[in-house]
Structure 1
Amino acid sequence: MMEELFSKQREEHKQLQSSIASLRRQAKEGNKKQKKQVQQKIADMEADLSQRHAQERTDLERTEEPEEGNEQDDLVATLLKQMESTDLDKPKKSPENSKSEAVDQPKETKKSRNRQKERLERRKAEMQQLSERAETEHADTVDKQKVEKDELSKILSNSGLVAVDIIPDGHCLFASISHQLNYHFNIKLNYHQLRDRAANYIFKHGDEYSGFLLDEDTGEVMSVEQYCNEIRTTGKWGGDIEIQALSNDVQVPIYVYNTNGPIIKFEPQEAKHTTPVCIAYYQHLYGLGAHYNSLVYNNK
């Protein structure tokens, strides 16, 4: 089972590297903003695969550990049965034959027992190594979450802002902007409506976005029509493309606070509202991947 898992994970890693290579080729042809989006997509894909592989190894360790104990018990029972059969059922042999059997039989039993013991010990060592690796990866993830949370909290505090938690359900970008539009301008558009508006804008300006609309799972470029359909009808994660589309459509600046650098500012082609919509981007804080929260003024 462990060998099969290693083989599967190696193949998935190869597939990921192929997808990443494709993304990097696409990034070379894009502008600065699009290149940054592709790099973020690559980082998210690598993190997701690493976490999933670690969980798979941990799950396999839990399911296989009892089997090893059973195999050892079965081996002991088999050896005892063989010994009983030898003592009680077989006819007595000449002293010469008995001596030969007495010499040969223990060697076979001892050899079989040693092979089983070595195999079990080797498996136990492999599982221990995988367990330690999984714990290390988990600790690294926890550290990244804490560092990101502390750094972003400091950035927001210095700007007089505080985060409003948005449910991490795949709609967080649209839900965050929905909360901001209502908070600043009393514009009531729920995340379903914002998904529609983003998809409609991208579809209408398809020539500008063609070649940069990526499949979340494969990293391959999608057609404008297919991409927009997924934005409308599924929980497809939203990113820079959707933020810029909504900024242009609603005619409002959208500022994204993050720990990777300065505030990312998306300016509309024509501004109806000058007060920026402010949201926070988290790369590590939530276990499901990238996440957005709404930001409001800290009145304390």
Structure 2
Amino acid sequence: MMEELFSKQREEYKQLQTSIATLRRQAKEGNKKQKKQVQQKIADMEADLSQRHAHERMDLERTEEPQEGNDQDDLVTTLLKQMESTSLDKPKKSPENLKDEPAEQPKETKKPRNRQKERLERRKAELQQLSAQAEKEHAGTVDKQKVEKDKLSKILSDSGLVAVDITPDGHCLFASISHQLNYHFNIKLNYQQLRDHAANYIHKHGDEYSGFLLDEDTGEVMSVEQYCNEIRRTGKWGGDIEIQALANDLQVPIHVYNTDGPVIKFEPQEAKHTTPVCIAYYQHLYGLGAHYNSLVYNSK
């Protein structure tokens, strides 16, 4: 069973390395932010696979070890009983001989090893180590969240902006832009309508985007048709491609505030609105990963 698991995990690791190699080749053609997003995705993929493999091995060991331990303990117990019930025929000694001989000292019986208990102790130590490592990683994540939150809050405060929380459900980019359009221009387009706008623009200008449309799970390049269908019909996350597509389609500048550098400005080819749509990009603050919030003017 364990060998079958190792074989499966080796195959999954090889597949992961193939996907990572494809992602890295594609990242060379993207901009700085796209490269950073790809690196983060690679790190997440490696961490997820490593954690899943560790849990699979632990689960399998739990199912195999107790039975093996019981069998060995039963065997040890049986052998001990047989040894205790076996007597060796010794020559009888006369009373005179007994006087001359020193009293026979009782032999110290060696306590049998409890192999199952030893395994359980080892497993307990391993679990404690894994738990400590998980707590350490969690503490590091919390620190990253706090650092990002404090740093971005300072950036927004200096710009006279404050974040409006958008539900982190996979539609956050489109929902935050929807909130901005209503806030600035009284334009009421919900997140699904904005998904349609982005998909229609990308499909219409497919030659410009071909080669940059990646599958989130495999990292493989998708066809324009398939990519646009996913944008319309699923909760596929939006990113730089969708932001630029919406900026061009809606003819409005979109400014993205982040902690990695200056404000990223997506300018439309033709501007109908001069007031920029402002959103904030978070990399660590939310558990699901990358997230966008809407930004409004600070009324204080």
TM-score (norm 1): 0.80
Q: CA deviation at 1:182?
A: 0.4
Partner of 1:36: 33
Deviation at 1:56, TM superposition (A): 6.9
Structure 2 equivalent of residue 282 of structure 1: 282
Residue 16 to residue 36, structure 1, CA distance change in 2 (3 Å)? farther
User: Is the alpha carbon distance of 1:76 and 1:215 closer, same or farther for their aligned partners in structure 2, counting shifts above 3 Å?
Assistant: same
Aligned AA (1:254): I
CA positional deviation for 1:133 = 1.9
> How far did residue 248 of structure 1 move?
0.3
Shift of the 74–132 alpha-carbon distance from structure 1 to 2, 3 Å rule, reads: farther
TM-fit CA distance, 1:144: 0.6
Q: In structure 2, what is the equivalent of residue 143 of structure 1?
A: 143
Q: Give, in whole Å, the separation in 2 of the partners of 1:178 and 1:245.
A: 14
**Structure 1 residues 157, 291: CA separation in 2 closer, same or farther (over 3 Å shift)?**
same
Tell me whether 1:248 sits opposite 2:248 in the alignment.
yes
Q: Distance in 2 between matches of 1:279 and 1:237?
A: 15
2:169 maps to 1:175: no
The change in CA–CA distance for 1:65 and 1:38 in structure 2 (over 3 A counts) is same
Which amino acid in 1 is paired with 2:238?
G
User: Structure 2: how far apart are the matches of 1:259 and 1:4?
Assistant: 45
Structure 1 residues 194 and 137, CA gap change in structure 2 (3 angstroms): same
Identify which range, 136-145 or 204-213, moves more after superposition.
136-145
Shift of residue 18, structure 1, vs aligned partner: 2.8
Supply the AA of the counterpart residue of 1:236: K
Count of residues in Structure 1 that have an aligned counterpart in Structure 2? 282
Distance 1:7 1:149 in 2: 43
How many angstroms apart in 2 are the aligned matches of 1:181 and 1:267?
16
Q: Aligned partners of 2:265 and 2:245: how far apart in 1?
A: 13
1:235 aligns with 2:235: yes
**Alpha-carbon distance change, 164 to 2 in structure 1, aligned in 2, over 3 angstroms:** farther
Listed one character per residue, the Cα deviations across residues 132-171 of structure 1 (whole Å, up to 9, x for unaligned) are 2222211111111111011011111111111111111000
Quote the Cα distance in structure 2 between the aligned partners of 1:249 and 1:243.
10
Deviation sequence 1:181-227 (CA, Å, 0-9, x none): 00000000000000001000000000000000000001110000000
| Structure 1 residue runs without a partner (length 5+) | 97-105
Q: Could you say which structure has the larger radius of gyration?
A: 2
CA distance in structure 2 between the aligned counterparts of 1:48 and 1:199, rounded to whole angstroms: 27
Aligned to 2:88: 94
Give 1:46-85 correspondences, 5 Å limit. 46-47=43-44, 49-50=46-47, 53-54=50-51, 57=54, 79-80=76-77, 83=80
Q: Answer whether contact 1:61 1:127 (CA < 8 A) is retained.
A: no
What's the secondary structure of 1:37's corresponding residue? helix
Q: Which runs of 5+ in 2 are unaligned?
A: 91-108
Is the Cα contact below 8 Å between 2:24 and 2:38 reproduced in 1? no
- SS of the aligned residue for 1:95 comes to coil
TM-score (norm 2): 0.80
Counting aligned pairs with the same residue, the percent is: 73
Work out whether residues 177 and 294 of structure 1, in 8 Å CA contact, stay in contact via their aligned partners in 2.
Answer: yes
Deviations 1:90-139 (A, max 9, x none): 6x54336xxxxxxxxx77x73xx265454444333333322222222111
Equivalent-residue separation in structure 2 for 1:259 and 1:196 (angstroms): 29
Q: Whose helix proportion is higher, 1 or 2?
A: 1
Q: Return the offset for 1:83.
A: 4.5
Contact residue 175 and residue 191 of structure 1 kept, 8 A: yes
